Structure 1
Amino acid sequence: MAFAPISPLTVDGLSKFLSIGYHHLINQAIYTFAELGIADRLIHAPSDHGFTVQEIIGDDQPQWNRDLLYRILRACIYGGIVESIHDDKHFILTASGSMMTSDHPSHVRDFIRLVFGPISNSCSLQLPNMVRGEGTGSGIARVSGGMDMYTFMAQPDQQEFVRIFSGAMTTFSMQNGSELVTNVDFGRFKTMIDIGGNRGTFLAQILESYPSIQHGIVFDLPHVIDQFKNGEEFELRKIHKDKWNFVSGNVFDSSAIPLADAYVLKHILHNFDDSQCVKILSSIREANENQKGKSTTIFIIDHIILPGGSLSNWQTHALDVIMAILFENARERTQDEYKQLLKKAGFELKQMYPIQAPDSIIEAIVIH
């Protein structure tokens, strides 16, 4: 009897563990496909004919191992990335595979390269030692000579990793951005700042959906702003350049934070321990202390751990593990845990939006 393609999440017994192993091996093929940029080559294949391995390689990479690439493509069929056409020697991209081109707005290629790439992989291998209490620091600190993630990404020789990381963050926004945007009325604000907004994908989605917002700002660290201040995400959505801009600074420095009616912290607080989260929230509050009679609202968007075995919790707990690996004392949190952090920083939890996209949203206001 053939071993059917099954998910290890849905079966028990020996089949679960065999499935885990087989999935991992298919993932290695998909990572190689992404790293080599095969989709960029295969996208030009005629849909009724496809490309052979030799046509994919072309004349510019004569040293490539044709047999091994063929075997990788054959494995990628079972990941739904490519299809064989007419015979087992000609390949075309599937609809999913076409998303892995370098210029696809989903940045799926970056996401795969981040999750399965050498940095994430080497950091993940540190997890057993972290659990045993052997050595100190996060996974990234252990493989980078003691640097935290932000210091590591600020290194001049890590610009490509920053680009991949930023692209992967865009993948999350492309997946759930529209659902998050439409489940909260952001249109009641005139000005909005996306703290740690990266290339501005989520803020651009908000401005596109709520044209009544007068101005939006992407606030991030200098090495991030320098890469993305051209505003490609805003131009893509035809948002007038007068309605957005990029500002560099450190969120821990309240004097560097621009004033606004509302602040978005999407996938930010889960990067930090409790004390740093309180400092970030307090910094936003302090930046607005002189705005007498004016309310300040923040939106925390993360994979919030929800009660009652909620459907999104399996994704949340999975992300929780990689957060512990990549960032010092980082974690996903429950609504009550966020409520306590907000209280310490002078905010009051106003509303919880259990969207489960898998992100959910907490809205909070400054306590006057």
Structure 2
Amino acid sequence: MEKEQQAGHGKLPHEQLLLQASTELMNLSLGYARSMALGCTAKLGVADAIHRAGGRATLHDLHAALSLHPTKLPFLRRVMRVLVASGVFAQVEEEEEDHYRLTPVSSLLVTAGDGGGRSLLPLVLFQLSPLCVTPATSMAEWLRSGGEEETAFEMVHGVGLWGACSRAPDLGELFNDAMAADSRFIMDMAINGSGRQVFDKITSMVDVAGGTGAAARAVAAAFPHIKCTVLDLPHVIDSIPADHGDVVQFVAGDMMDFIPKADALLLKFVLHDWSDEDCIKILKRCKEAIIPSRAAGGKIIIIDVVVGSSSEAICQGTQQLFDLIISVLTPGKERDEEEWRKIFKEAGFTKYKISPVLGFRSIIEVFL
């Protein structure tokens, strides 16, 4: 009897290991539900509702503010519980009824008040839209395909991301709003943080593939002496009101063919969308456009991911996820320093500086 018990105990660590493994497997396979819960609260405007309530709201407050059907209260509780556990919202226990507060994460979903200028809500809505999510659910099918489509996005939608945005104005608006929100946020962080010196000595700048001009406007506002120009495709430039009322100039064109001349060229979240061959072509066009004066700037400013630039687990994990989803949506990829150095060299550049000062992203200065 004693030997049987010992034998049973001998199996216990292995059984516990398998149970732990099964828990981890379930957590991983259900991880999409966490993203969908985030998307749910983003669409409903939960962060704004808490903000309007003075920064704290009970479940019943949220239920009323969001005008939900009475039967949906228990489900809203479940959604909030998942996001509290994930650190998106905070839950404070009280004797009568618990209330929810914003965290630094959910504060970035607020569109009203002082926080509106830094809101990443449009970016979250884009990343969790069917436009992006559906191709991600078809990775296995794309890997098994014969290679006719360059990306899973193209296989699912019948056209590449840029083609989809140009053909359907609503999708183009969704993408442009997302990029504009990200530009306002990241340029605010760069200009008011450790990246401000990057713009020293510059008197003119072209934001290449700069969308609706959010990044260029941020630079122009912070540095009025810098003449800022935005280059993007005609359908993007055509979507900008003629009376936009700012000092930024807009030029319609293809960066593969022509880039206006300036002291510095900005490429924010652009090169990761393209293959190495296309990146080299873009960088060569940039080199032709840079006014050759080191004293007046004479460089390319790249804001993008440098894989392995941070030792923080959250940054490393986010870089890996971005690399995967970018490869689902576009022919591009995220690059480590050696991969960046290689394309710089192929384009004729030998000097660069990487400053990992923007969370999971970095500022890369590439000099003539």
Fold in common (TM above 0.5): yes
Q: Which residue of 2 aligns with 1:246?
A: 250
Q: Distance in 1 between matches of 2:75 and 2:190?
A: 38
| Matching of residue 77 in structure 1 with residue 80 in structure 2 | no
Q: For residues 25-104 of structure 1, what are the structure 2 equivalents within 5 Å?
A: 25-45=33-53, 50=58, 51-58=60-67, 65-79=72-86, 80-81=88-89, 83=91, 86=94, 91-96=99-104, 97-103=106-112, 104=116
Out of 155, 165, 187, the position equivalent to 1:153 is: 165
Matched letter for residue 256 of structure 2: F
Give % identity: 22
Q: Distance in 2 between matches of 1:168 and 1:363?
A: 23
Q: How many residues align?
A: 339
Q: Which residue of 2 aligns with 1:137?
A: 150
Q: For residues 281-320 of structure 1, what are the structure 2 equivalents within 5 Å?
A: 281-287=283-289, 296-306=298-308, 312-320=315-323
| Matching of residue 327 in structure 1 with residue 327 in structure 2 | no
Q: Distance in 2 between matches of 1:231 and 1:333?
A: 39
Matched letter for residue 136 of structure 2: S
For the aligned residue pairs, the C-alpha RMSD in angstroms reads 3.8
Q: Compared with structure 1, are the counterparts of its residues 174 and 259 closer, same or farther at alpha carbon in structure 2 (3 Å cutoff)?
A: closer
Q: Which residue of 2 aligns with 1:339?
A: 341
CA drift at 1:172: 5.8
CA drift at 1:75: 3.5
Q: Which residue of 2 aligns with 1:198?
A: 211
Q: Distance in 2 between matches of 1:204 and 1:181?
A: 19
SS at match of 2:118: coil
Structure 2, gaps ≥5 residues long = 1-19
CA drift at 1:265: 1.0
Matched letter for residue 121 of structure 1: V
Q: Which residue of 1 aligns with 2:175?
A: 162
Check the 8 A contact 2:184/2:218 in 1, yes or no. no
SS at match of 1:347: coil
Q: Distance in 2 between matches of 1:137 and 1:161?
A: 23
Q: Distance in 1 between matches of 2:161 and 2:271?
A: 14
Matched letter for residue 258 of structure 1: P
Q: Compared with structure 1, are the counterparts of its residues 283 and 23 closer, same or farther at alpha carbon in structure 2 (3 Å cutoff)?
A: same
SS at match of 2:262: coil
Q: Which residue of 2 aligns with 1:351?
A: 353
Question: 303-312 or 183-192: which moved more?
Answer: 303-312
SS at match of 1:363: strand
SS at match of 1:193: strand
Q: Distance in 1 between matches of 2:22 and 2:184?
A: 34
Instruction: From the two aligned structures, give the one with the greater helix fraction.
Output: 2
Q: Distance in 1 between matches of 2:46 and 2:36?
A: 14
Q: Distance in 2 between matches of 1:37 and 1:295?
A: 42
Q: Compared with structure 1, are the counterparts of its residues 307 and 182 closer, same or farther at alpha carbon in structure 2 (3 Å cutoff)?
A: closer
Q: Compared with structure 1, are the counterparts of its residues 142 and 210 closer, same or farther at alpha carbon in structure 2 (3 Å cutoff)?
A: same
Check the 8 A contact 1:52/1:89 in 2, yes or no. no
SS at match of 1:43: helix
Q: Compared with structure 1, are the counterparts of its residues 83 and 187 closer, same or farther at alpha carbon in structure 2 (3 Å cutoff)?
A: same
Deviations 1:41-80 (A, max 9, x none): 443335576453552233xx66984443343334433343
SS at match of 1:188: coil
CA drift at 1:107: 2.8
Deviations 1:311-352 (A, max 9, x none): 644432221111100002x11123333333233333333433
Q: Which residue of 1 aligns with 2:186?
A: 173
CA drift at 1:195: 1.1
Q: Distance in 2 between matches of 1:334 and 1:42?
A: 40
Check the 8 A contact 1:193/1:263 in 2, yes or no. yes
Check the 8 A contact 1:107/1:167 in 2, yes or no. no
SS at match of 1:101: coil
Structure 1, gaps ≥5 residues long = 1-11, 236-240
Q: Compared with structure 1, are the counterparts of its residues 363 and 151 closer, same or farther at alpha carbon in structure 2 (3 Å cutoff)?
A: same
Q: Choose 1 or 2 for highest CA Rg.
A: 2
Q: Compared with structure 1, are the counterparts of its residues 165 and 89 closer, same or farther at alpha carbon in structure 2 (3 Å cutoff)?
A: same
Q: Give the TM-score taking structure 1 as reference length.
A: 0.75
Q: Distance in 2 between matches of 1:78 and 1:115?
A: 21
CA drift at 1:82: 5.6
Deviations 1:224-255 (A, max 9, x none): 334556899xx9xxxxx44x33333221121x
